Amino acid sequence: MFEQISQRLNQTLRMLRGVVCVDEASLIVALRDLRLALLEADVNFGVVKDLLAVVRERAQRQEVLDSLTPGQQVVKVVHEEMVKLLGGTQVRLQLKGATPHVIMLVGLQGAGKTTTAAKLGQQLRRSGHSPLLASVDVHRPAAREQLAQMGTNSSIPVFASEGDDPTVLAREAIEKARLAGHDVVVFDTAGRLHLDGAMMNEAADIVEVLKPGNVIYVADSLAGQDAVTSVSVFHERLPLTGTVLTKLDGDARGGVAMSIAAVTGLPILYAGVGERVEDLEVFHPDRIASRILGMGDILTLIEKAQEGVDVEAAAILEKRLRDSTFTLEDFREQIRQMNKFGSMSKLLELLPMARGVDKKALDPAEGDMRSFSAIIDSMSVEERRHPQTIDRSRCRRIAKGSGTRIQDVNRLLKQFNTARKLMKKLGRHRGNPLDMMQNANFGR
């Protein structure tokens, strides 16, 4: 189901990307598809509504409409707003409070707190700290045993004492950390339901004792709409400082990241991406935004395109396409722009739709691109503008001048003709020059 939706969204955005004038109708279609994709990705209903309102408002502003590529601007606005909601830039965990610094993990049952505690311990040790893991989960059977085993497996000291009062255990753990000279203590707490008053009080009591510099909410990336309800209550009752998103190694879109960030404003510090203790990554707001939309790195491509492509040159090119005056000079201009991306294969890697492309087929094409440039350089202005004037003897001269063979020149001309035909067709749809470049080279 999701593939279909994100495919359609891709189509819509792709269409919009090349559009020169964003009218109300195409904006409505795009926003509708966007809404569906976001909801299917489990972004909360209210969060989606607010986001779309902002996107709509910005899309209708003059600077977007007046820009050379308003369609692209709209897509960019969507992405920008999503990343903004997700906290913008990457935020690192800051150890705070008295030494030993206390990090307390809280969350619903089964979110992945215990595993995250062990992973955080590993991360902290790697960055030169001396962490102690401590479990104050007196509720789930063998929860303390689980943390103890995970600590043992990765040689991180663990405090896991008997006893049924978590606040007492918390004090003991801090004492142990002081004596043993640990500078950070990661506390694993029992999973609790936000509706469970007694359990929420227990968590507040533990906070009272520990005065933690960090209280981190551990959120399951598989979660749905209700994530905002639970995290809001946790946020109200406890001094949360950040969140960790778990189980991101699955195929969930992780829209919950946006929901949580939107309602709490808390930074997402890490992403859990596997069952091993090393599987904890720094969270990248821009990557998750693309993941939520299921668009590969199409947005990165747009950004790159905006940096790399000379907008004015693109506009002139587009005009020529429409007037069917596309020449070898334009063709060379395109090749020059392609080179700004690095290589053809790099550009293609960024495109979700190009996944099926045979990578081997790329290499000769890349070679062609280089020689094509040289061949065109060896032509006279007349020949570039009117390639039909290139006869056998001119062909020989061009090959000699560019250090290529006659076959190469012929291949260029053939490819150029195919490209021109394709572009004529695409020009009617006001396509994007980059898309056309691909079509020209790979017959896609």
Given the rule CB under 8 A, which residues bind another protein? 1-2, 5, 35-36, 39-42, 44-45, 108-112, 139-143, 145-150, 153, 193-195, 220, 222-227, 229-230, 247, 249-253, 255-256, 275
Rounded least distance, CB 7 to another protein, Å: 14
Q: Which is nearer to another protein, 149 or 410 (CB)?
A: 149
The residue type found at 243 is T
Strand 158-159 and strand 280-282: pairing? unpaired
Please name which of 258, 211, 266, 212 lies closest in space to residue 234, comparing C-alpha atoms.
Answer: 266
8 A C-beta contact, residue 252 and residue 221: yes
Beta-bridge mates of residue 103? 186, 214
Q: Which is nearer to another protein, 148 or 168 (CB)?
A: 148
Rounded least distance, CB 166 to another protein, Å: 15
8 A C-beta contact, residue 326 and residue 320: yes
Rounded least distance, CB 222 to another protein, Å: 5
Rounded least distance, CB 226 to another protein, Å: 4
Q: Which is nearer to another protein, 225 or 345 (CB)?
A: 225
Rounded least distance, CB 14 to another protein, Å: 21
Say what the alpha-carbon torsion angle 167, 169, 171, 173 is, to the nearest 10 degrees.
Answer: -140
Q: Which is nearer to another protein, 5 or 369 (CB)?
A: 5
8 A C-beta contact, residue 289 and residue 86: yes
Rounded least distance, CB 110 to another protein, Å: 3
Rounded least distance, CB 82 to another protein, Å: 17
Rounded least distance, CB 223 to another protein, Å: 5
Rounded least distance, CB 376 to another protein, Å: 48
Rounded least distance, CB 64 to another protein, Å: 27
Q: Which is nearer to another protein, 7 or 229 (CB)?
A: 229
Q: Which is nearer to another protein, 137 or 333 (CB)?
A: 137
| Cross-sheet strand order for the sheet of 214-220 | 158-159, 131-135, 184-188, 101-106, 214-220, 242-246, 268-272, 280-282
Say what the alpha-carbon torsion angle 260, 266, 269, 270 is, to the nearest 10 degrees.
Answer: -10
8 A C-beta contact, residue 268 and residue 245: yes
Show the tokens assigned to 23. Answer: 């009218």
8 A C-beta contact, residue 272 and residue 244: yes
Rounded least distance, CB 191 to another protein, Å: 8
Show the tokens assigned to 197. Answer: 């008053």
Rounded least distance, CB 136 to another protein, Å: 16
Q: By three-state DSSP, how is residue 329 classified?
A: helix
8 A C-beta contact, residue 321 and residue 419: no
Task: Tell me how far CA of residue 211 lies from CA of 101, 189, 347, 431, in angstroms.
Answer: 9, 15, 50, 59
* Angstrom distance (rounded) from CA 283 to CA 245: 8
Q: Which is nearer to another protein, 230 or 404 (CB)?
A: 230
Q: Which is nearer to another protein, 259 or 438 (CB)?
A: 259
Q: Which is nearer to another protein, 243 or 441 (CB)?
A: 243
Beta-bridge mates of residue 102? 185
Task: Tell me how far CA of residue 222 lies from CA of 40, 56, 245, 246, in angstroms.
Answer: 12, 29, 9, 8
Q: Which is nearer to another protein, 110 or 367 (CB)?
A: 110
Q: Which is nearer to another protein, 252 or 362 (CB)?
A: 252
Q: By three-state DSSP, how is residue 155 classified?
A: coil
Cis-peptide into 70, omega within 30 deg = no
- Which DSSP string corresponds to 177-209? HHHHT-SEEEEE-----TT-HHHHHHHHHHHHH
Q: Which is nearer to another protein, 226 or 329 (CB)?
A: 226
